Structure 1
Amino acid sequence: MTINQLQDEIIEEFADIDDWMDRYAYIIDMGNALPPIDEAYRTPEHLIEGCQSRAWLHAELTPEGKIEYTADSDAIIVKGIISMLVKVLSGHTPREIVDSDLYFIDRIGLSENLSPTRSNGLAALVKQMRLYAVAFLAKQQAEGAAQ
């Protein structure tokens, strides 16, 4: 599935949930379904700067040239938000991630229903995911030029 198809799937999942308390409960459920991050990545180097709660992010480039993200947080809402971002961006190429427009965040009303500190954390998380993609893209281009 493309990044946009995955975003549309999330938007559709939220379409029938009108009440924000129910939406938060759904986000928490999504976070509870997120596979735990390997303890080796629960380190200061993997912490997201600018996130009020503690959130860790790790990215690996697969042999097929796709990025696989793993992440976790000690805050249940943040963990749910992370799970959506991982669902949308994992398994795509660095170029696809760099070029993506993450419109689902606004469409499900997330940005307007988060506290300013949570919004800052969300922005920091998206930025870090994109930075990983930019770094992997640069590495791929350097390796391509070297051949």
Structure 2
Amino acid sequence: MTIQEEQQSLIEDFEFLEDWEQKYEYIIDLGKELEGLPEDKKNDDNLIRGCQSKVWILPEYKEGKLYFEVDSDGILPKGIVAMLKQVYSGHTTQEILDSNFDFIEKIGLQEFLSPSRANGLMAMTKQIKFYAVAYQLQK
């Protein structure tokens, strides 16, 4: 699936949920499905700055695509970073750079989050774009 198709799929998933309690539970369930990172990968190199909870994003570039392994010590951030992994992992750096994050607004996530969590979400999205730029420069 393309990034846009992944985003649309998430938007549609959220449309079926009636209230924020159900949406919250859905996000938490996404986090529970994550394999997570081994403890030795939960280090400062992979830590996302600006998040209230600890969030780690570990990039891997192979065969022209960028893959992400993610984890968090908080249940809600873990679900949020799982959504970002679902959308952006397995795509080329150019596809990531050409994409936008407007699906976050379309599902209403920023309205639901506290200001500190919204800042953390922005830090996660910026880091994904940063990795795409960094690996694109290595080509």
Q: Are residues 1:84 and 2:83 paired?
A: yes
C-alpha RMSD of the superposition: 0.8
2:33 is matched with: 33
Residue in 2 that maps onto 1:18: 18
Q: Secondary structure at the match of 2:108?
A: coil
Paired AA for residue 12 in structure 1: E
Q: C-alpha distance in 2, partners of 1:96/1:128? A: 15
Aligned length in residues: 139
Structure 1 segments, 4+ long, off by >3 Å, are: none
Q: Which runs of 5+ in 2 are unaligned?
A: none
- 1:18 is displaced (CA, Å) by 1.8
Aligned-partner Cα distance in 1 for 2:67–2:22: 29
Once the two structures are TM-superposed, the CA of residue 69 in structure 1 deviates from its matched residue by 0.2
Residue in structure 2 matched with residue 45 of structure 1 by the alignment: 45
Identical amino acids, percent of aligned pairs: 47
**Taking structure 1 as the reference length, what is the TM-score of the superposition?**
0.92
SS class of match (1:45): coil
Equivalent-residue separation in structure 2 for 1:130 and 1:40 (angstroms) = 24
AA of the residue aligned to 1:97: I
CA contact (8 A) 1:51 1:122 kept: yes
**What residue ranges of structure 1 are gaps of 5+ in the alignment?**
141-147
Deviation digits for residues 72-91 of structure 1, max 9, x if unmatched? Answer: 00110000000000000000
Q: CA deviation at 1:37?
A: 1.3
TM-score by length of 2: 0.97
- Counterparts of 1:37-116 in structure 2, within 5 Å, are 37-62=37-62, 64-116=63-115
Offset of residue 38 of structure 1: 2.9
